[in-house]
Amino acid sequence: MRIPTATYRIQFNSAFGFDSARAITNYIADLGISDLYASPIFKARAGSTHGYDVVDPTQLNPELGTQEAFEALVQEFQQQNMGWVQDIVPNHMAYDSQNQYLMNILENGPDSTYIDYFDIGWNSAFASSNEPILAPLLGNFFATSLENGEIQLKYEESGLNVNYYSLKLPLKLESYAKFLTQNLGKLAKSLGRKHPTFVRLLGILYMVKNIPSEGTAQQRQDQAAFVKGLLWELYTDNDDVRTFIDENLQLFNGEPGKPESFNLLESLLSEQFFRLCYWKVGAEEMNYRRFFTVNELISVKVEDFKVFKNTHDLICKLVSEGKFTGLRIDHIDGLYDPAQYLERLREKTGDTYITVEKILQPGEELPSNWSMQGTSGYDYLNYLNGIFCQTENEDKFTQIYSDFTGMRMPYEQLIPEKKHLIIDRNLAGDIDNLAFLLKTIAGNYRYGSDFTINGLKRALAEVLTRFPVYRTYINQEGISETDRSYVQEVIEAAKTHTPLLNNELNFIEKLMLLEYDDFLTQVEKDQWLYFVMRVQQYTGPLMAKGVEDTALYVYNRFIALNEVGGEPGRFGISVSEFNEFNQKRQTSWPHAMSATSTHDTKRGEDIRARLNVLSEIPEEWQKQVRIWSEINHSKKKTVKRFTMPDRNDEYLFYQTLVGAFPFFEHEYADCVERVKEYVLKAIREAKVYTAWLRQNSTYEDAFVDFVKVVLELSENNPFLKEFIPFQQRVAYYGIFNSLSQALLKITSPGIPDFYQGTELWDFSLVDPDNRRPVDFETRQSYLKTIKEQAKTDILKLIDELLATKEDARIKLFLIVQALKARTENLEIFREGNYLPLEVTGKFKEHIVAFARSNENKTIVTIAPRFFTSLIQPGQHPLGQEIWNDTCLNLLTQAPSTWKNAMTEQIVHAHDTLHIGEALKHFPVALLVSQ
């Protein structure tokens, strides 16, 4: 198995394809990266900016380049001895006209060859539905869209289809009869009933009306193709037939302003295997499983081996050819049975490096039976971030937050409230489906016969909102003790909050724990298990939407902690907890990824590094916020005695601005626009005054206007006069936090992952802001200069980098030096022990230090933190004068001579090492025993 030394995440899109990646291959290699980590590269919806909306997993995305361009890129990486870790999407595909599997189902219904491919009502194991598949893709109500002429019937070689802007859905063959019989008499008169062309058309009509019910799905589709081919021949060969069909199209497509003229098209659409409807309908009615609440992403039944094989054939082929050397599994928790999926993938890909996107809550362990190397790194991100938050100031920040905003609800109470909100507004239809399945099971037994659908739904909603983790992993193998304890904890909490539903909750607990009655048949047991595994597929989306995409935008006490998989209710962690996490990781998942920024993080790594500075200075922060708020109060709008934005959103804005404010004036205008876009997304995600489903333009406009006026660049702007000096001070300290963060990521157990562009400062906000194009030319230029200067006079270079640290070359230098040391001592970083080191002296709490060692060698990481009480702005955290008597206790029998990989200078120490000596020239140290 090829284990990466370090990965570099690239976001492929039409503007950055295979050729673009090839142009930076040398740069990535020179940086010290061993493996490309690629966003999805399989055929996606036209114009996709991210690749997760796959339409065909059996071919590469033509928008990224040709097959030849892909091969050339692979060859380039292989010549550099670099690997390729590929992000794959097994859970869902795009609900799009280009998805030919889905289009086949919408055209042929239950007779489709691909009926088992998608998680729709028809293929539910214990329930069936004759209702059409929802197509909740309209931007307005169906009637409005229809009568505006936005829904149009068209005809082409592939047959009749209904169009809504770029969406094109095929009509079932039986519907051709209604279309072709319209005004047929007129054609008979013009051609004559015995005309060969007319007779042929009648023959086509006869075949359409007499499609045999028996036969295989393939036979039916072959017949449909035959009929459509005959009709297209008539259309292209005969002017009368062409005129007849074109006039019918015009007739069916109606005339805006005449509602009755659309009756024919409405009637035709009512016959289809799909139902076009307003996108908001998907929140309350749903008969297919989606990715979270995204109507445009329909879930795949990858648990069906035929589906697994088809959707993974190209992936496995590229693995077997050595073009992919690793895989990253997107949204593993969405799958019906993750353990089974990983077993199949391992069987098909052999000894391949595999990581999974799995959001672990604090304290949660990965299932030990998963056949892979670990997570994609959100767990590491939150532990690393937590040690830069000064935990003893938690009460002060809680008080500041409640005083300023009036928010007093603890984060732990907010979570179930927001999950209930998501169930009511976004997942109501999905929960209805689960409740219907639960009612069906309950009705089979006397102890469940009196349960009502309403009572079961309320009980089920309470259970779903109380899960402390994304999901459990109960399957046909049974239930683990960990999952058992989660279920029991959830049921107990649900009973506390809804005591009137105790009987229903007891029944749900019985099912979830698979406590089968002795008299159950195997079919009944399968039904229970099916219900449990379905529930497990919804706790994850509910957690993601209720917490990540709602609560994290509402609870703004300290947004540096509001991250995917984070715990904002807890104000940072201790160094001992960080060390314990790393020790466990080294033992159990030494090759998991270590991330600090990703395409899905809520804010860039260097924004968090800046914001963590605030945790050190609560009194100053409180004073500044009060001053800013007083200055800006007149910039708010008041409507019906309600002032906008409210204090909580204002508090979010100030924190965001402290984190995202640029170092250089030429970046200011762009920053303002990005912040305006961010606050708009943030308040919609919060769902307090506005939301994606019910946009409140009054509040949105008021907030965006507030940002615009507050940030107006002028000499007379009192806010900026107060804000900029404070922000600059925070940003100064944030630089050193960023450097420590980067070194810790590179040297901790796990594979350090670098999101594109983050080798310089990353002040990105949530997507799509963090998916902006990267200026690789500047980075290449910086890297070339740094490497050349490091060869001649590295200390002079360091002095220059410290003097110009705002341009981020200092971060790039650190990454280059640390990755070089990692590569040269790879076995120690992969397999070496992780040993926390004791620090003594005046500033002992300001140092995070640990050793990685094996029998022959030891490497020591020294990363400072909490700089506001260590140095003044303008000072550097270097030398004995700053660090006083702070010392590091080295390991027993540690060598006396070390080389600092940052500065390439020799450091001497016996038993103890003065921090001032280790940090004599550079703000962090990486000492390699000699």
Strand runs (DSSP E) across 692-846, as ranges?
Answer: 751-755, 833-836, 839-840
CA 580 to chain centre: 27
Q: How many C-beta atoms surround the C-beta of residue 285 within 10 A?
A: 16
In terms of DSSP bridges, do strands 167-170 and 159-164 run parallel, antiparallel, or are they unpaired? antiparallel
Q: Is 18 in contact with 68 (CB distance < 8 Å)?
A: no
Contact 411, 463 (CB under 8 A): no
Tokens of 431: 């929960």
Strands (E), 592-741: 593-594, 637-639, 642-644
Token digits of residue 652:
């979010």
What sign results for the dihedral spanned by CA atoms 411, 414, 418, 420?
A: positive
Contact between 912 and 890 under an 8 Å Cβ cutoff? The reply is: yes
Nearest to 596 by CA among 783, 730, 762: 762
Spell out the residues 6+ positions from residue 630 whose beta carbon is closer than 8 angstroms to its own. Answer: none
DSSP string computed for 738-754: HHHHHHHHHHSSSEEEE
State the pLDDT at residue 540: 95
- What does the alpha-carbon distance between residue 39 and residue 23 come to, in Å, rounded to a whole number? 17
- The amino acid at residue 853 is S
411 within 8 A of 394, measured Cβ to Cβ: no
**CA 680 to chain CA centroid, nearest Å:** 19
pLDDT at 207: 92
Give, in order, the Cα–Cα distances in Å from 463 to each of 176, 424, 486, 493, 494. 48, 14, 11, 8, 6
Query: What's residue 891's pLDDT?
Result: 82
* Cβ atoms of 244 and 186 closer than 8 Å: yes
Is-contact 450 537, C-beta < 8 A? no
In three-state secondary structure terms, 275 is strand
Alpha-carbon distance of 809 to 800, in angstroms, equals 10
Residues of the chain with pLDDT under 70: 122-129
Alpha-carbon distance 380 to 667, whole Å?
31
Phi, psi (5° rounding) for residue 910? Answer: -130, 115
CA distances from 175 to 215, 241, 260, 415 (A): 20, 18, 20, 48
- 787 within 8 A of 30, measured Cβ to Cβ: yes
Q: Residue 781, Cβ neighbours under 10 Å: how many?
A: 12
Q: DSSP state, 45? A: S
Spatial contact of 419 and 428, defined as CB atoms under 8 Å apart: no
| 371 Cβ contact partners less than 8 Å away, ≥ 6 residues apart | 342, 343, 345, 346, 354
Residue 67 tokens, joined? 């097959």
Contacts for 869-876: CB closer than 8 Å, 24+ residues apart: 869/616, 870/843, 870/846, 873/728, 873/729, 873/732, 873/733, 874/732, 876/802, 876/923
Degrees to nearest 5, angle at CA 707 with 702 and 712? 125
What is the pTM for the complete model shown?
A: 0.95
In which region does residue 576 sit, left (phi positive, over 0), alpha (psi from -120 to 50) or beta (all else)?
alpha
Q: According to the model, what pLDDT value does residue 855 have?
A: 82
DSSP 342-382: HHHHHHHH-S-EEEE---PPTT----TT--SSEE-SHHHHH
Q: For residue 210, what pLDDT is reported?
A: 86
- C-alpha distances in angstroms, 393 versus 60, 283, 558, 563, 866? 51, 41, 11, 20, 12
Q: Cα(91)–Cα(356) distance, rounded to whole angstroms?
A: 12
The strand pair at 326-329 and 83-88 is best described as parallel
Classify 801 as helix, strand or coil: helix
Quick one: tokens of 382?
Answer: 């939150």
| Tokens standing for residue 683 | 């308040």
CA-CA-CA-CA torsion for 109, 110, 111, 113, nearest 10 degrees?
A: 90
Which pLDDT score, from 0 to 100, does residue 731 have? 98
Cα–Cα distance, 580 to 859 (Å, whole number): 18
For 219, residues 6+ apart whose C-beta sits below 8 A from its C-beta are none
Strands of the sheet with 167-170, listed across from one edge: 151-156, 159-164, 167-170
Cβ count near 717 (within 10 Å): 16
Output the pLDDT for position 236: 96
CA torsion, ordered 179, 182, 188, 190, to nearest 10 deg: -100
The residue written with tokens 């002028």 in the block is 714
Residues paired with residue 905 on neighbouring β-strands, in sequence order? 900
Euclidean distance between CA atoms 612 and 559, whole angstroms:
9
Over residues 386-417, the pLDDT tens digits come to: 999 999 999 999 999 999 999 999 999 999 99
pLDDT of residue 856: 85
Question: What pLDDT is attached to residue 123?
Answer: 55
Residue 552 CA to residue 652 CA, distance in Å, equals 11
Q: Which long-range contacts (CB under 8 A, 24 or more apart) does 618-624 make?
A: 618/393, 618/396, 618/397, 618/400, 619/396, 620/726, 621/400, 622/396, 622/400, 622/403, 622/404, 624/722, 624/723, 624/726
Helix (H) / strand (E) element for 928: namely strand 925-929
- Please give the pLDDT value at position 128: 53
Max CA distance (Å), the chain: 108
pLDDT at 122: 65
Tokens linked to 915: 């921090």
Residues written for the chain:
930
Distance CA 515, CA 521 (A): 13
